[in-house]
C-alpha cells in the first residue's frame, strides 16, 4: 500500500460497521438479486445469510436503504429494524407498525388516513390479549394496502427471532407477509437459515417457505477488483505484491481485508512508513497479531455451531464423522474451500502418503495463513499426535493378525466366524459404510477396513476376540486381558474429546493416564516387532 497523501483520518475507520457510500464496493450480482426479488409490482421475501462480518447488513443497506427516498415517492416504505434491541414478539410487531407510521408521516399523506392509522397504533399499544393485539396489527396493514402503500422491512440480526417468537408468532408474521390484503415484504439478515431459526421453536408452520435464499460468502474476483479500485478515491494505490500479501493473510474476506488495511494505514502513519510493498517485517508481524483475535472469534462461532472439529477433520484430518450436512455448511459459510491434495500439501508440508492421488480434492481454510494457524493449533495437542502414532501401530498389528488368521477375503471370513456374535456383524457393516463414504467423498486411497477403525473397534472387534494371539504382544503379570480391556476402554473414552478439541473436559490426571497407556501400547508393540525380526 502506498499512501500518496498522509492524513490523520484513516479512511478505513468505519470497518466493522455498515459500509456505505463510496466505501462500499462489489456485490453487484447480489444487489441485482435483491432488487429483482423486492422491488417492482410483484415482490417477495428474501433471506440473506452468511457468517458474521461477511457484509450482510452492508449489502442489504446499500441495495435498499439507498433507494429509500426514491421508493417512498412510489408509495413504497422501506425500514431497517434491529431485532437484537427487542425483548418480545409484541415489541417486534409494534415496531413494524411504528416504523411504517413514521415513514407515512415523512411522506406527507392525507391527514384523514394518517389520523386513522395513528389511532390504530394507539389501540395496538393498549390492546388487551393476544387475539385483539394481532387483529389490530393486521387491520393496520390492511389499511396500508387499501391506501396503495406497501412496506418492506429489513430485519437485521434475525437470528434473535428464535428467542422472541413462538410458533404462533412465526405463523402470524407469515400471514402478514403472504396474504394479499396485508402483504408486507421481509428481508431478513441472519447467520443461520430461516429453517434453523424457526425450528428452535418447533417448526409446525412453514414460515421458511415464503422466502428465497441468498447466501453471502466471500468476495469473488469481480468484487475484489472493485474493492481495490475503490481505494483510488482515497488517494491510496496498491501493487499486486501488496494484494497478494493481504490475500495470503485473509483471503477474500471483506471485513478482514478492511481490518488489515485499517491497521496498516495506522502503522504507516505512526511509523512514517509509506510502503508496505518493500517487505516491511515490523508491519507484517504487528498485523498478524491484530488478526489473532478475529480468527479466535471465527473459531468460537464454529464451535457454537458444532462445526470446528468437522473443519479440523476436513482440513487436517483424520476424517471420521463428518456428515454431508457438515461439509455443505462449511462450504456455504466459505470457511473452507476445495483444492487439490497437492496444493494443500505444498502449503502445509504434511499429510503425504505413498500412493496418494495428488489431483484428488481436499480442503483448506479461506486463507493460507488461517490454514497454517489451524495446523499450529492442531500440532500443539501433543497427546493427539501420540494417539495417532498409537492408532497406526495398533492397525498395523491387527493387519498382521488378519494376514495370519484369514484368507485374502478376510472380511467375509471374519463375518462367518463371528456370525452369531451380538453386534459384531453390524459394526463391521458400519465400518464398511464409513469406508465407502470416505473413498467417495474425500478421495481416500486405502481400501483396508482396518484403516477406518478407532480404539473401541480395535479392541472389541479384533484384539479381545483372539486374545490367545494378541496376549503374546500385550500380556504380562501386571497386565492380564481384563486390565487391557479397561485400558482400551479408557483410551476410547478419552479419544472423543481430544479429537473434538474439547480438552477442557479432560482432567490433568486422566490426561496423564491416557498418555501413559499410549506409551505402554507403543512400547509393547515395538518390543514384539523387534523380537519377531530376530
**pLDDT at residue 273 in the model:** 45
Angle CA 345–349–350, to nearest 5: 85
According to DSSP, the β-strands at 236-237 and 2-3 are antiparallel
In terms of residues, how long is the chain? 534
Q: At what angle do helices 240-250 and 368-379 cross, to 10 degrees?
A: 40
Residues 6+ apart with CB under 8 A from 496: none
* pLDDT above 50 for 354: no
| DSSP-assigned states of every residue in 48-108 | EE-STTSSHHHHHHHHHGGGHHHHHTTTEEEEEEEGGG--SHHHHHHHHHHHHHHHHHHHT
- Phi, psi angle pair for 522, to nearest 5°: -60, -40
Q: Which three cell numbers stand for residue 132?
A: 385483539
Torsion, CA 63, CA 66, CA 68, CA 70, rounded to 10:
-110
| Contact criterion met (CB below 8 Å) for 296 and 181 | no
Task: Report the range of poorest mean pLDDT among 254-258, 348-352, 511-515.
Answer: 348-352
Question: Does 300 or 33 have the greater pLDDT score?
Answer: 33
- Structural domains for the chain: 2-14+219-302 (no CATH), 27-215 (3.40.50.300), 305-379 (no CATH), 382-533 (no CATH)
| Contact criterion met (CB below 8 Å) for 505 and 497 | yes
Q: Taken in order 245, 250, 253, 254, is the CA torsion positive or negative?
A: negative
Residue 253 to residue 52: CA distance in whole angstroms: 11
pLDDT band at 513 (very low <50, low <70, confident <90, very high): confident
Question: What are the b/e assignments for 379-417, b being 16+ CB within 10 Å?
Answer: eeeebbebbeebbebbbebbbbbbeeeeeeebeeebeee
Residues 6+ apart with CB under 8 A from 285: none
Q: Is 151 exposed, middle or buried (0-12, 13-18, 19+ CB in 10 A)?
A: buried
Q: Of the candidates 59, 127, 116, 55, which has an alpha carbon nearest to the alpha carbon of residue 90? A: 127
| Contact criterion met (CB below 8 Å) for 99 and 112 | no
Task: Report the range of poorest mean pLDDT among 22-26, 197-201, 322-326, 484-488.
Answer: 197-201
Residue owning grid cell 412453514 = 206
**pLDDT at residue 274 in the model:** 39
Strand-pairing partners, residue 214, are 48
pLDDT digits (tens, 9 = 90+) for 406-452: 999 999 999 999 988 888 999 999 999 888 887 776 665 678 999 88
| Contact criterion met (CB below 8 Å) for 149 and 77 | yes
**pLDDT at residue 2 in the model:** 57
Distance of CA 431 to the CA centre of its chain: 28
Q: Which three cell numbers stand for residue 356?
A: 496418494
* pLDDT above 90 for 183: yes
Residue 495 to residue 333: CA distance in whole angstroms: 28
Q: Of the candidates 32, 54, 34, which has an alpha carbon nearest to the alpha carbon of residue 45? A: 34
Q: How far apart are the first and last CA of the chain?
A: 65
Give the global pTM: 0.72
CA distances for 171 relative to 47, 81, 96, 97, 380, angstroms: 17, 19, 16, 18, 49
Q: Is 137 helix (H, G, I), strand (E, B) or coil?
A: helix
pLDDT digits (tens, 9 = 90+) for 264-305: 888 776 554 435 555 555 666 777 777 888 888 888 888 888
Range from 107-121, 173-187, 260-274, 344-358 that averages highest in pLDDT = 173-187
Q: Is 358 helix (H, G, I), strand (E, B) or coil?
A: coil
Residue 194 to residue 517: CA distance in whole angstroms: 47
According to DSSP, the β-strands at 236-237 and 211-215 are unpaired
Residue owning grid cell 467375509 = 412
Q: Of the candidates 243, 237, 251, 93, which has an alpha carbon nearest to the alpha carbon of residue 165? A: 93
Other C-beta atoms closer than 10 Å to the C-beta of 165 total 22
Residue 169 to residue 207: CA distance in whole angstroms: 10
Residue 35 to residue 37: CA distance in whole angstroms: 5
Residues 6+ apart with CB under 8 A from 508: none
Q: Taken in order 445, 446, 447, 453, is the CA torsion positive or negative?
A: negative
Question: Does 190 or 445 have the greater pLDDT score?
Answer: 190
Question: Does 109 or 132 have the greater pLDDT score?
Answer: 132
**pLDDT at residue 413 in the model:** 92
Q: Which three cell numbers stand for residue 255?
A: 471485513
Mean predicted confidence (pLDDT) in 337-363: 73
Task: Report the range of poorest mean pLDDT among 126-130, 159-163, 315-319, 340-344.
Answer: 315-319
Q: Is 476 helix (H, G, I), strand (E, B) or coil?
A: strand
214 sits in which H/E element: strand 211-215
Angle CA 77–78–80, to nearest 5: 145
Amino acid at each position: 500500500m502506498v499512501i500518496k497523501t498522509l492524513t490523520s483520518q484513516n479512511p478505513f475507520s468505519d470497518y466493522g460497521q455498515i459500509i456505505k457510500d463510496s466505501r462500499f464496493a462489489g456485490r453487484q450480482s447480489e444487489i441485482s438479486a435483491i432488487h429483482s426479488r423486492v422491488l417492482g409490482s410483484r415482490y417477495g421475501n428474501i433471506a440473506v445469510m452468511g457468517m458474521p462480518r461477511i457484509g450482510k447488513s452492508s449489502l442489504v443497506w446499500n441495495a435498499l436503504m439507498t433507494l429509500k427516498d426514491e421508493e417512498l415517492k412510489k408509495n413504497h416504505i422501506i425500514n431497517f429494524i434491529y431485532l437484537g434491541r427487542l425483548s418480545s414478539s409484541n415489541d417486534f410487531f409494534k415496531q413494524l407498525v411504528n416504523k411504517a407510521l413514521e415513514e407515512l408521516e415523512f411522506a406527507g399523506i392525507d391527514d384523514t388516513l394518517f389520523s386513522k392509522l395513528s389511532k390504530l397504533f394507539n389501540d395496538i399499544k393498549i390492546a388487551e390479549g393476544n387475539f385483539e393485539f394481532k387483529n389490530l396489527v393486521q387491520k393496520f396493514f390492511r389499511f396500508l394496502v387499501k391506501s396503495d402503500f406497501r412496506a418492506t422491512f429489513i430485519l437485521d440480526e434475525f437470528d434473535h427471532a428464535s428467542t422472541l417468537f413462538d410458533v404462533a408468532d412465526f405463523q402470524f408474521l407469515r400471514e402478514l407477509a403472504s396474504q394479499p390484503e396485508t402483504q408486507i415484504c421481509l428481508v431478513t439478515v441472519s447467520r443461520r437459515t430461516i429453517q434453523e431459526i424457526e425450528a428452535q421453536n418447533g417448526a409446525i408452520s412453514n414460515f421458511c417457505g415464503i422466502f428465497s435464499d441468498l447466501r453471502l460468502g466471500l468476495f469473488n474476483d469481480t468484487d475484489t477488483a472493485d474493492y481495490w479500485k475503490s481505494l483510488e478515491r482515497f488517494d491510496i494505490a496498491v501493487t499486486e505484491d501488496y494484494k497478494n500479501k493481504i490475500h495470503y493473510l485473509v483471503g477474500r474476506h471483506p471485513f478482514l481485508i478492511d481490518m488489515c488495511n485499517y491497521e496498516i494505514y495506522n502503522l504507516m502513519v505512526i511509523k512514517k512508513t509509506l510502503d508496505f510493498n518493500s517487505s516491511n517485517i515490523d508491519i507484517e508481524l504487528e498485523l498478524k497479531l491484530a488478526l489473532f483475535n478475529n480468527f479466535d472469534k471465527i473459531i468460537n462461532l464454529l464451535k457454537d455451531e458444532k462445526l470446528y472439529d468437522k473443519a479440523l477433520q476436513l482440513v487436517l484430518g483424520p476424517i471420521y464423522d463428518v456428515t454431508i450436512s457438515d461439509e455443505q455448511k462449511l462450504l456455504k459459510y466459505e470457511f473452507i474451500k476445495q483444492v487439490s491434495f497437492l496444493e494443500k500439501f505444498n502449503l502445509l508440508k504434511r499429510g503425504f502418503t505413498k500412493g496418494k492421488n495428488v489431483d484428488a480434492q481436499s480442503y483448506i481454510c479461506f486463507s493460507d495463513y488461517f490454514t497454517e494457524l489451524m495446523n499450529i493449533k492442531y500440532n500443539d495437542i501433543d497427546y493427539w499426535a501420540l494417539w495417532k502414532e498409537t492408532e497406526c501401530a495398533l492397525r498395523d498389528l491387527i493387519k498382521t493378525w488378519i494376514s495370519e488368521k484369514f484368507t485374502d477375503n478376510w472380511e467375509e471370513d471374519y463375518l462367518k466366524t463371528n456370525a452369531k456374535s451380538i453386534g459384531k456383524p453390524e459394526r463391521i457393516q458400519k465400518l464398511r459404510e464409513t469406508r465407502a463414504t470416505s473413498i467417495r467423498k474425500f478421495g481416500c486411497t486405502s481400501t483396508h477396513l482396518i484403516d477406518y477403525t478407532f480404539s473401541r473397534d480395535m479392541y472389541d472387534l479384533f484384539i479381545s476376540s483372539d486374545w490367545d494371539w494378541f496376549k503374546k504382544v500385550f500380556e504380562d503379570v501386571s497386565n492380564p486381558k481384563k486390565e487391557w480391556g479397561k485400558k482400551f476402554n479408557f483410551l476410547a473414552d478419552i479419544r472423543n474429546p481430544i479429537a473434538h478439541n474439547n480438552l477442557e473436559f479432560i482432567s490433568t490426571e486422566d490426561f496423564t493416564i491416557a498418555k501413559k497407556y499410549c506409551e505402554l501400547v507403543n512400547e509393547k508393540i515395538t518390543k514384539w516387532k523387534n523380537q519377531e525380526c530376530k
